[in-house]
Each structure stands twice: as structure tokens, then as C-alpha cells.
């Protein structure tokens, strides 16, 4: 299996589930198809003199690219020939099944060899409103998986990138990933570094970290999840089925402990963890970064930004990092915290 970074593929997803799981929050599941159905992309791959090896290898009836936690899909949120809502909307993947892993979210919806992708979407404007009002059976144009996710090296290792043999990959993004992981103190250069992971989520930041929790369960790793929500009606019910140590906080105390995710953070012994993954409000991620840093534990954050192309071209989603500008779509959305926080 090959897991791409930014060179995702265009695919048509068929909406198979649209369930309102919280106030203005929808769980969407899409069935996607093997890449052989993706004619336009295949044509590009076959004819391009300098095409990307990741997408080319997948062009001939192979499974669609599988996302790993932290990666996103760029959704067209209007009819194909409409000029309304010109831009796509980036949505982080909540889960993927139909590859070698079984479905965790609502497995009953799956039949045969379907590839299913799950998303949790909060209605935030006209685009997400359109998406969440679609009926089951609707076809949606999606581009993905895109971006760099949390350092699940196992996914990269399976791509035959020579993580353990020291072989230098031909893929520049993997070289970056390798050096990035090596450089990191107590880094994640091997699966072993994911032995006990602290996940810190705030609000919709739960999405990539729920996916990460599922992935860690599949790998047989330990984790603690600290998840903060404004209120019970914003809570994601899928958290109930997680097998790890899950600690829920709500601002108003309507579910779990009254307080914020950062309160949960103060209550854990960071030295017990090998790495911290966080996603949510900037202040929360910053707190996680500084606490982790004090214990020499690496911390990864996921950023969001108003996005244009989603594939590293237009420069619209760029945010100011600690040392240089960061393209959220293609260099992230997951970054080592110290790349962003000073």
C-alpha cells in the first residue's frame, strides 16, 4: 500500500450516510471507488512526462489512496458547472475503512469491498451547509487525501520507503518526514515511538484525533484522549466506542468533567507519554506544546486556515510559522509544534 502526502486524487464519493450527531454537526460517510474509475486522473498519470509516482502506481484499478490521521479531503460544495461556491472546502478524515482495516464507525453500512470515508462536519457557512443538506445517494467531487498527517510512520513504512533500512526515498516528502522525525527529540522514527500517545482535542479538533485513536487501537498502542467540548450537544458520540482512556470535558459541565481540555492537560503526567498529538483552539495547542516541551516530549499540532487550491499552488492558506511561512495544505496541516509556536 502506498500512502500519499499532497498528491491526492480526484474521486467521486457517493454519500451513504448523513446523520446529525450534534448541534449543526453531521457525520457524513462516502463510498469511494478504485482509482481505475478515475479517468481524468489516470489520463494525466499515463501521459504526464513528470507525473507523480505515487498516483501513477495507483492508476490501474488499484485501491483508492487511503488517508491516515490528520490528512484531509478537499470537497466541491456546489454542482459541477455552478459558479457559486467556487472554492473547495477542506475536511479532515474521521475514519477510513475497506482497505486492510475494518470499519469502526457504523460498520453495518458497509457491503462487499466498499471503501468508505467518514467525516464529521460542523456547519460553518454556505459550503458546509450545502454539503450537510445532501441526501444519501448524492455524488460529491472530492480531492484527496491531501496534506501531511500525524507521524504514523507505519503508514509510510508500508509504502516501502526504507525507514528502517536507511534507504533514501525518491519521494521528497518522505525524505522530509524521515529527517523531521529523526531530528525530533525522542522522535517518532519508528513505530515504537507511538507506544503511549497523549491526544488532546478541542471542539472539532476531535476529528483527526478520533481517527488517530482508532489507528492506535488497530496497532495495539496505548493512548489517553483528552477531549474538550463547549457543551453536550457538540460532543461526538463515537467517543463512547473508543477502547482507550478517554477523558471528556465540557465548558458547561453537561457531560464529563466541567472544564476545558487544557484543564485535562494539567491533570496528566506528561512524562508517561512518548508523543502528544493535538488539534483544536490555538491557545489549547500552545498549552499542550509548552507542557510537552517541558518534559522533552514531542508535540504535533494540526492547523486550519482559509484555503484555496489545497495542493500547495496558490499560497492562500499560508500562516506565519516560528521561522518561516507554512503552507497549511501541503506542508501541513500537521506540524511539529515548534515549527509554529515560538
User: Is 25 in contact with 41 (CB distance < 8 Å)?
Assistant: no
Min CB(19)–another protein separation in Å: 27
DSSP letters spanning 271-304: GG-SEEEEES-HHHHHHHHHHHHHTT--EEEE--
Q: Toward another protein, which CB reaches closer, 80 or 165?
A: 80
Min CB(161)–another protein separation in Å: 17
Min CB(340)–another protein separation in Å: 12
* Residues present in the chain in total: 342
Q: Toward another protein, which CB reaches closer, 24 or 154?
A: 24
Strands annotated E in the chain: 9-22, 25-32, 72-75, 89-97, 115-122, 139-146, 196-202, 222-229, 245-250, 257-258, 275-279, 299-302, 318-320, 325-327, 334-336
Residue 108: count other Cβ atoms within 10 Å of its Cβ. Answer: 6
Min CB(97)–another protein separation in Å: 26
Cα–Cα distance measured from residue 138 to residue 202, given in angstroms and rounded to the nearest whole number: 31
Closest CA to 144 of 259, 231, 54: 54
Min CB(83)–another protein separation in Å: 4
Min CB(28)–another protein separation in Å: 20
Task: Enumerate residues 6+ apart whose C-beta is below 8 A from 200.
Answer: 209, 226, 261, 264, 265, 276, 277, 278, 279, 280, 284, 285, 288
Residue 22: count other Cβ atoms within 10 Å of its Cβ. Answer: 17
Q: Toward another protein, which CB reaches closer, 82 or 241?
A: 82
Q: Toward another protein, which CB reaches closer, 103 or 143?
A: 143
Min CB(194)–another protein separation in Å: 29
Q: Toward another protein, which CB reaches closer, 259 or 308?
A: 308
Place of cell 478520533: 210
Binding site for another protein (CB under 8 A): 6-7, 10, 40-41, 43-44, 47-52, 54-55, 76, 81, 83-88, 127, 141, 143, 305-320, 325, 330
Q: Toward another protein, which CB reaches closer, 320 or 342?
A: 320
Q: Toward another protein, which CB reaches closer, 75 or 118?
A: 75
Amino acid at each position: 500500500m502506498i500512502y500519499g502526502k499532497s498528491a491526492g486524487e480526484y474521486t467521486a464519493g457517493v454519500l451513504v450516510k448523513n446523520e446529525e450527531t450534534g448541534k449543526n454537526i453531521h457525520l457524513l460517510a462516502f463510498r469511494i471507488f478504485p482509482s481505475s474509475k478515475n479517468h481524468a486522473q489516470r489520463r494525466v498519470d499515463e501521459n504526464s512526462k513528470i507525473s507523480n509516482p505515487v498516483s501513477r502506481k495507483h492508476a490501474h484499478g488499484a485501491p483508492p489512496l487511503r488517508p491516515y490521521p490528520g490528512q484531509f479531503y478537499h470537497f466541491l460544495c456546489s454542482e459541477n458547472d455552478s459558479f457559486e461556491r467556487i472554492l473547495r472546502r477542506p475536511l479532515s478524515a474521521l475514519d477510513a475503512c475497506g482497505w486492510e482495516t475494518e470499519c469502526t464507525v457504523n460498520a453495518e453500512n458497509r457491503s462487499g469491498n466498499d471503501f468508505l470515508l467518514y467525516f464529521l462536519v460542523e456547519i460553518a457557512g454556505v459550503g458546509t451547509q450545502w454539503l450537510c443538506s445532501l441526501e444519501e445517494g448524492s455524488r460529491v467531487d472530492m480531492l484527496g487525501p491531501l496534506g501531511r498527517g500525524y507521524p504514523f510512520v507505519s503508514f509510510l513504512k508500508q509504502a516501502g520507503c526504507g525507514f528502517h533500512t536507511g534507504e533514501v526515498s525518491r519521494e521528497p516528502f518522505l525524505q522530509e518526514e524521515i529527517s523531521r522525525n529523526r531530528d525530533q527529540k525522542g522522535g517518532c522514527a519508528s513505530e515504537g515511538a507511538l507506544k503511549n500517545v497523549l491526544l488532546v482535542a478541542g471542539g472539532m479538533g476531535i476529528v483527526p484525533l478520533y481517527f488517530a485513536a482508532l489507528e492506535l487501537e488497530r496497532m495495539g498502542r496505548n493512548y489517553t484522549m483528552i477531549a474538550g467540548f463547549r457543551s453536550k450537544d457538540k460532543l461526538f458520540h463515537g467517543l463512547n466506542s473508543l477502547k482507550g482512556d478517554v477523558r471528556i470535558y465540557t465548558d458547561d459541565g453537561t457531560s464529563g468533567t466541567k472544564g476545558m481540555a487544557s484543564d485535562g492537560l494539567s491533570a496528566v503526567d506528561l512524562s508517561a507519554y512518548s508523543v502528544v498529538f493535538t488539534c483544536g483552539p490555538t491557545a489549547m495547542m500552545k498549552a499542550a506544546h509548552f507542557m510537552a516541551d517541558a518534559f522533552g516530549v514531542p508535540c504535533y499540532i494540526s492547523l486550519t486556515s482559509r484555503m484555496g487550491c489545497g495542493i500547495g499552488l496558490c499560497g492562500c492558506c499560508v500562516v506565519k510559522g516560528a521561522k518561516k511561512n507554512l503552507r497549511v495544505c501541503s506542508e501541513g496541516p500537521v506540524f511539529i509544534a515548534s515549527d509554529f509556536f515560538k
